[in-house]
Structure 1
Amino acid sequence: MSSSTLPPRFLIDENVRIELYLFLKKEGYDVRVLSKGAPDSLLVETSRKEKRVLVTNDSDFRWYPNHKIYAVVWLKIPQNEVGTLIRIFNKLIKALESFSGKLIILRETDWDEKNLFTALASPSRKR
């Protein structure tokens, strides 16, 4: 992340391990979690209005266009691999200049970066 870029703000879906939330808070990031059972529409609206990166295990959010949601990190990491999740997420934050308008598909060792509005049609950049 360049020094002129503001740090990302995150919105953690309820299906994401609490350890990631705690790690991000400890690192000084602005992180929110909505109340349990909040509808997807509220997550999408909060992401867009507050310019927050939605972090989720839910594949449904990959279908939202960039005018409806700010950014999505879709976690494709087994839930029991907390250390791996934190390590690769930290690597992602340090490597990515901007999350805006992006769909990031995060795996155990790397990620794909796509534009939200053409998430299925655009070529991905593997890290």
Structure 2
Amino acid sequence: MLSQTLLEMTEQMIEVAEKGADRYQEGKNSNHSYDFFETIKPAVEKNDELAARWAEGALELIKVRRPKYVHKEQIEAVKDNFLELVLQSYVHHIHKKRFKDITESVLYTLHAVKDEIAREDSR
């Protein structure tokens, strides 16, 4: 996978995660609810596909580049936690601290992958 494509997917996931964190916060404050079939299910399915393609590209990057600060286990965890973040940003059935921890973990690894791609491109 081209590093440019992986970079685009990484940036897209960062944006989705940040918007999800905002949506979670707004939802906790307003008790707004979303329709499952109209809003939640399509969002989760769309981002499931994105996360799967991203993980495939990120694992390929790790195999080729062997970065010091990004590992296979982190990529698998991001894939799962990213989907949890998207889902919970709509339904709010998770404690605030847990959601914050998941969000920070996902964003940390996504930024680490983004930095690794930038390091590769600057060579």
Q: Same fold (TM over 0.5)?
A: no
The TM-score with structure 2 as length reference comes to: 0.27
More helix by share: 2
Q: State which structure, 1 or 2, has the greater radius of gyration over its C-alpha atoms.
A: 2
RCO higher in 1 or 2 (8 Å CA, sep ≥ 6)? 2
More strand by share: 1
The TM-score with structure 1 as length reference comes to: 0.27
